[in-house]
Structure 1
């Protein structure tokens, strides 16, 4: 087990380049110290994790079929002339321990942390000694089709120094990769293999870290299975069948002179077979009966997996940990605890997520937004706080901002009443529209954000625009025409009310029949407003004329602003009862962002592992 240099700096992945890998023709990602990657469905989040696994996973290339046809971009592994097309991946590692710097000094390069690039070969000694320049290793993966052998080959090697003609490239071996400490945990849907003893599973990692000599363990286990007492084949029914088989087979086949030529054992008596067949059992709180771990429930499985990660973090100090969607089957408070643990104990964490509870645990500079260009190029864009203050991002709005960052678009509104009205109106349109003609906000991936007044709409709009989201504004009538002009220029769509508040819009434009029904219900609520000095101020009478009904609704909505009254009024409406500006805004957004949220499946990424995800590689 290696230790860090005296500075205590952890080893880090700084950059990843991809070429002709799965759905990505070309791509480049820069990684902060800890990284959470977000982006649309099939943008390439899983592809990045798989690329890191091929580069740094100790056991990945030792498996049969490390890559196949589906790993090549567009499944093209031969060009038009029949020559092999290469998958090329490259990772830059920095913050090496003193031991690793010495061990790999022949392959050392230098990374400029300010310019976020490698120094070229012409760099002078004084250039490499600057404080912002760090020693680095560049690891390259190359995969291609071998026509002569009719198989796909894969290897990793050091990029520096480049080999002379006829020289063999310096390979990165499994023991070397173990020293890098990379663990990749795929999305946990059933915990498959993560809790097995297969090579690279969490249990196997712990076993390796706790006991370097595992050969005696396997030999002892195999011996005990071979000498099981009583043997399995002594069960009466099995014994009778084996004796009959033995008698009949001896008529045609020369068999051993021993009394038993055929035996039954609980496994093939090989290490690899045991790795696949040994199963972890556990007893839940409500039952004392041990069952296979996959029957304990997905939430329990995931919690168990992370408890094993705490063990690994204790045993091994330099861990680069990558995982897809740690939120699966885990409640929000547990998501927060898990991410806090990972960020605090792992030297570098690289996650993908669709959960605001995970995303909010990262500072904005740790968030990388993945984007796919039309020519299949992948890029990662780092979040910049533009418009809003850093303390605002880190304050009470952090979760709603995180939720918005995970979506497709944002509606900026001034206050809570505007937000509840738009959500309720979206539900009304969905319920009463012809199927397929209207996409509700949640399926469009649109988040409504309260922006603290009209000035806040511009500030938040600038922030969300910088994230590449579709941004919309729904706001009160403005006396200052310059603000309205600025909003119109910044936003992809905006709607300015003819009223100074959403309450006035509802009171003036919702059909009077709905307003009467609302007052009849609301007047019975415990928190309906009353005025002891003027009892008639909020009293509803079914004999009130239309003007007084609208005036009363206006007063009630204003005094109970943000208490759900405005939203409930909208819930009583049919689409034809709603103010026209609300319907227009929601329908325009529906047309612009039709059903953007489908299942997150990288359909073209070629991951044919089981649904439970494959085990992580060894640290």
Structure 2
């Protein structure tokens, strides 16, 4: 069993999305792109315990908080002759977003008022489930449809024999609807068999029991782990006990044991005499039928109370001392949760397993173990992750890269390798070259290792020197990818641009043909006119900065012999040093100790251009003033040449 297609409308940050999901996949993208929202949507439509929470949704679950229509405004009375006639009301379009009465801000679409007959705004989540087992086919027979795995869509032709090929199989569609109830002034939600929404007079509810037959498990690290071994309703231990049908014997035996246990009955402890005094005083005022003999117990002796107070203890260290499970380390707790989920999956045999960030507090080797074990346990696994060790365990067609535009339309991008990036190279260099770019929203492709280390270091240092003028690449959300050669820049930039990311490039002076190839794949090209980055630094800095740095560093033996009087010839000596430390960040270290005036002008200009592109300066809105006589133009300020 697996979810082959998921459609989401008006849920949290997603206005609309339709995603095709493989058997096993990892969802990746920048933060707040919608990865967790997808898993939460699956939990709403398939999770057996999610709808037990009342209300199951709230104001913030609706796209941009729009959960009700704006009531039509009263037309203003005409004032005097010639007043304009009132504009007739216009109903909302079927797919137009609604508003809650808050004025639209800049960049948001405005919404027309709604008529009284307007349908309520609904969160809609539809999941198409295929690869059903025999039990599921029998249980859901009235609502079975057919899924064409070759065309990745439902088979709708009026030809019963057309479902015989192997690539067409039984499928089930279920839909969650969530809305605001005006009459109850509250939110409500339920899941239905999708076919019943259009074919039946009354929609058929896809109940909690139905969802248990499907078996959707959602592991949220903190929220699931904090009550994994408690007996609260919906906890992992509660689910395991329900599957093994041991609940009645456990409850009765535990309650009987606690009922026979008295607390502080020994008079030497001082508590029971006080209780006897209370009892004697009580008899003076009320008959014994009203209540006598107060004494202490360890529990309220109800099942609901036991659910909240019973928890598992785990031995720690070498000794026998045990502590509550939730006091264990985060990594231990995560592995404990995984072990319990594996028991549930083993009992169900046919589950969909969704897991957020398995790398949390887990070493790399354990991250890989988690991925392998979960994939063996479940018929479908859906992960979210920022770890290269997790991501490299998934094939290219199992890597779901998400992008979302300003209007809330979320789409899946396919990872297509350019001609100069072979699959073998992609796998070998995934951690060091490709992973960070896949997770970022903006990518700067650098020509080589020198630019990869030096330019980010310069931007970071310039921000420290003048934070209002410069911004570090990290603050701009830009990751730097080493192309390893000028001939690779265009291909790598094309890879990331095809995934919907903003791409930039930094390089030496290029021939016209290669420059044109690069410019076709980037949003901004930062190209200086020198033949090498070392030449750019030496031509743009000051001799004083070079001599100061030469005093600070420990010179390599061969350079100390070649340039014994390096302070007398700083240009030649530092050129040799920069070339010798090309892969060790020599230029990055130099730029990190320069003043703003000692930093080459091209680097400062490139940093400002990149900042202005990512964070366009807001246009200043000055109040209108009466025209004044033109003043004589002041001479332009001339920045001293520090090169």
Q: Sort the TM-score into its range (normalised by shorter chain).
A: 0.7 to 0.9
Whether the 8 Å CA contact 2:444–2:479 is kept in 1: the answer is yes
For the residues of structure 2 that align with 1:474 and 1:73, how far apart are their CA atoms? 38
Deviates more, 1:468-477 or 1:65-74: 65-74
2:144 aligned to which of 105, 108, 122: 108
Q: 1:420 to 1:221 in 2, by over 3 A?
A: same
Q: Measure how far apart 1:136 and its partner are.
A: 0.7
Q: Measure how far apart 1:223 and its partner are.
A: 1.8
Q: 1:30 to 1:283 in 2, by over 3 A?
A: same
1:143 aligned to which of 178, 181, 184: 178
- The 5-angstrom pairing of residues 178-193 of structure 1 reads 178-188=212-222, 191-193=225-227
Number of aligned residue pairs: 568
Taking structure 2 as the reference length, the TM-score comes to 0.80
SS where residue 193 of structure 1 aligns? Answer: coil
- The 5-angstrom pairing of residues 312-351 of structure 1 reads 312-351=344-383
Whether the 8 Å CA contact 2:547–2:567 is kept in 1: the answer is no
Q: Measure how far apart 1:457 and its partner are.
A: 0.3
Deviates more, 1:450-459 or 1:423-432: 423-432
Partner in structure 2 of residue 459 of structure 1: 491
Partner in structure 2 of residue 6 of structure 1: none
Partner in structure 2 of residue 469 of structure 1: 501
Structure 1 residue ranges without an equivalent (≥5)? 1-10, 596-619
For the residues of structure 1 that align with 2:223 and 2:542, how far apart are their CA atoms? 49
Partner in structure 1 of residue 523 of structure 2: 492
Any runs of at least 4 consecutive aligned residues in structure 1 with deviations exceeding 6 A, and if so which? Answer: none
Deviates more, 1:309-318 or 1:26-35: 309-318
Q: Measure how far apart 1:349 and its partner are.
A: 1.6
For the residues of structure 2 that align with 1:170 and 1:286, how far apart are their CA atoms? 56
For the residues of structure 2 that align with 1:162 and 1:490, how far apart are their CA atoms? 46
Structure 2 residue ranges without an equivalent (≥5)? 72-115, 617-643
SS where residue 170 of structure 2 aligns? Answer: strand
Q: Deviations over 1:335-377 (max 9, x none)?
A: 3332333334332221223333333332232222333333333
1:175 aligned to which of 199, 205, 209: 209
SS where residue 198 of structure 1 aligns? Answer: coil
Q: 1:348 to 1:165 in 2, by over 3 A?
A: closer
Whether the 8 Å CA contact 1:365–1:384 is kept in 2: the answer is no
Q: Measure how far apart 1:417 and its partner are.
A: 1.7
Q: Measure how far apart 1:68 and its partner are.
A: 3.4
Larger RCO: 1 or 2 (CA < 8 Å, sep 6+):
1
For the residues of structure 1 that align with 2:250 and 2:328, how far apart are their CA atoms? 28
Q: 1:510 to 1:74 in 2, by over 3 A?
A: closer
For the residues of structure 2 that align with 1:502 and 1:298, how far apart are their CA atoms? 45
- The 5-angstrom pairing of residues 323-472 of structure 1 reads 323-387=355-419, 388-434=421-467, 436-472=468-504
Partner in structure 2 of residue 131 of structure 1: 166
Partner in structure 1 of residue 134 of structure 2: 98
Partner in structure 1 of residue 563 of structure 2: 539
Whether the 8 Å CA contact 1:366–1:382 is kept in 2: the answer is no
1:589 aligned to which of 597, 610, 618: 610
For the residues of structure 2 that align with 1:340 and 1:576, how far apart are their CA atoms? 54
Is 1:196 the counterpart of 2:230 in the alignment?
yes
Whether the 8 Å CA contact 1:356–1:400 is kept in 2: the answer is no
For the residues of structure 2 that align with 1:160 and 1:44, how far apart are their CA atoms? 28
For the residues of structure 2 that align with 1:239 and 1:288, how far apart are their CA atoms? 33
Q: Measure how far apart 1:410 and its partner are.
A: 1.4
For the residues of structure 1 that align with 2:349 and 2:196, how far apart are their CA atoms? 29
Q: Measure how far apart 1:562 and its partner are.
A: 0.9
Q: 1:238 to 1:134 in 2, by over 3 A?
A: farther
Partner in structure 2 of residue 266 of structure 1: 298
Partner in structure 1 of residue 576 of structure 2: 555
Partner in structure 1 of residue 44 of structure 2: 54
Q: Measure how far apart 1:484 and its partner are.
A: 0.8
Whether the 8 Å CA contact 2:219–2:356 is kept in 1: the answer is yes
Whether the 8 Å CA contact 2:566–2:573 is kept in 1: the answer is no
Q: Deviations over 1:304-354 (max 9, x none)?
A: 222333444444432211122223333444333323333343322212233
Partner in structure 1 of residue 512 of structure 2: 481
2:309 aligned to which of 267, 277, 298: 277
Is 1:519 the counterpart of 2:554 in the alignment?
no
Is 1:575 the counterpart of 2:596 in the alignment?
yes
For the residues of structure 2 that align with 1:397 and 1:189, how far apart are their CA atoms? 31
For the residues of structure 2 that align with 1:550 and 1:351, how far apart are their CA atoms? 53
Q: Measure how far apart 1:163 and its partner are.
A: 6.2
Whether the 8 Å CA contact 2:392–2:430 is kept in 1: the answer is no
SS where residue 160 of structure 1 aligns? Answer: helix
Is 1:222 the counterpart of 2:243 in the alignment?
no
Partner in structure 1 of residue 636 of structure 2: none
For the residues of structure 2 that align with 1:507 and 1:420, how far apart are their CA atoms? 17
For the residues of structure 1 that align with 2:183 and 2:210, how far apart are their CA atoms? 30
Q: Measure how far apart 1:177 and its partner are.
A: 1.5
Tell me which structure has the larger Cα radius of gyration: 2
For the residues of structure 2 that align with 1:255 and 1:63, how far apart are their CA atoms? 43
2:534 aligned to which of 482, 503, 508: 503
For the residues of structure 2 that align with 1:70 and 1:246, how far apart are their CA atoms? 53
Partner in structure 1 of residue 558 of structure 2: 529
Whether the 8 Å CA contact 2:226–2:326 is kept in 1: the answer is yes
Q: 1:175 to 1:238 in 2, by over 3 A?
A: farther
Whether the 8 Å CA contact 1:408–1:470 is kept in 2: the answer is yes
Q: Measure how far apart 1:460 and its partner are.
A: 0.1
Partner in structure 2 of residue 33 of structure 1: 23
SS where residue 355 of structure 2 aligns? Answer: strand
SS where residue 572 of structure 1 aligns? Answer: coil
Q: 1:484 to 1:144 in 2, by over 3 A?
A: closer
Q: Measure how far apart 1:138 and its partner are.
A: 0.5
Q: Measure how far apart 1:238 and its partner are.
A: 4.3
For the residues of structure 2 that align with 1:239 and 1:591, how far apart are their CA atoms? 76
Taking structure 1 as the reference length, the TM-score comes to 0.83
Partner in structure 1 of residue 6 of structure 2: 16
